[in-house]
Amino acid sequence: MARVSATQYGETVWSDLFAGSRPSISCLEPAVFAIETAFDLAPQPDAPKRAHDLAAARRQRIHWRLDGGFGTDEKMRWLLGRGYQITVKGFSGRRADLLAKQVTRWTPFGDAWVGKAASPVDYGRPISLWVKRRLEKGEYHHSFYLTTLKLHSLSQAMELYDQRGGSEVEQFRNDKQGLHLSSRRKHRFLAQKALILLDDLAHNLLADFYHSALAGSPLAGFAAKRIVRDLLTMDGNLVWQDGMLKRIELCQDHPHANALVDCLVRCCSD
């Protein structure tokens, strides 16, 4: 399963299901094309020049943070050629060892060290490249990274890279716990893909509910699991009139009833 997320709101922008034998590198282009379609980042060829210029300007403000499974020279040139910003871990461990020999100064970074090196590849745009060295079982292991962003230090660049999967990992965990994604499995491939898309819909509805109703309230610490388990299952009544919801009555004995009422009032009044 591949997923692209919006960090600020925790929404899922795109998800798809691939065969387990398919490498990550082959999933990059479908993900990029899906995002370009969703955000109108690639107008049709017959669109006016102004539309293409606006789309190109928007692509320059989009930053892709990718792990080593996507970091081949071919894929990086392709992304850079489309005008995106990138922070990527390189694909080749052999190249990382060779680049490490160029480093003249190593800066401590947590339990590792980072050092600047020159890129042996022309990516068609200016990039900064650095190497990370870590000691495991008495041996040095190296990995290299590159970015198009102008940052103050290698430590800042490394921290930026390390933040790449935080929201996605958290979302997968919340979906597995709150929406029981891991316990619902379909035998047919297309059925499982449909389940993933339904999970995305539920995930984004919960994300919208959190930001429109729970954020800034005593219930702000609730993730998907507690929202589903403790809030959406609360006993109560829905009062309808002429096909419209007029009133929500919640069980007063529930410990979160009063807080949820305040959240719902604020949500409905916005």
State what percent of residues in the chain have pLDDT above 90.
37
Q: How far apart are CA 262 and CA 218, in angstroms?
A: 10
**pLDDT tens sequence across 125-171:** 999 999 999 999 889 999 999 999 998 899 999 998 888 755 555 55
- How do residues 20-42 score in pLDDT, each as one tens digit? 777 778 888 988 998 898 888 98
**Tens digit of each residue's pLDDT (9 = 90 or more) over 206-262:** 888 988 899 889 999 898 888 888 998 899 998 998 888 888 889 989 999 999 999
Shared-domain flag, residues 156 and 202: no
Residue 226, in any domain of the structure? yes
- Say if residue 58 is in the same domain as residue 191: no
For tokens 């998800």, the residue is 15
Mean confidence (pLDDT) of the chain:
86
159 and 32 together in one domain: yes
Query: pLDDT at residue 107 above 70?
Result: yes
Q: Report the domain count for the chain.
A: 2
The rounded distance, in Å, linking the Cα atoms of 270 and 249 is 20
Give the whole-angstrom CA distance, residue 121 versus residue 100. 15
The model carries a pTM of: 0.73
Q: Are residues 198 and 74 in the same domain?
A: no
Is 192 a domain residue? Answer: yes
The domain of 142 spans: 2-168
Q: What are phi and psi of 29, to 5 degrees?
A: -60, -45
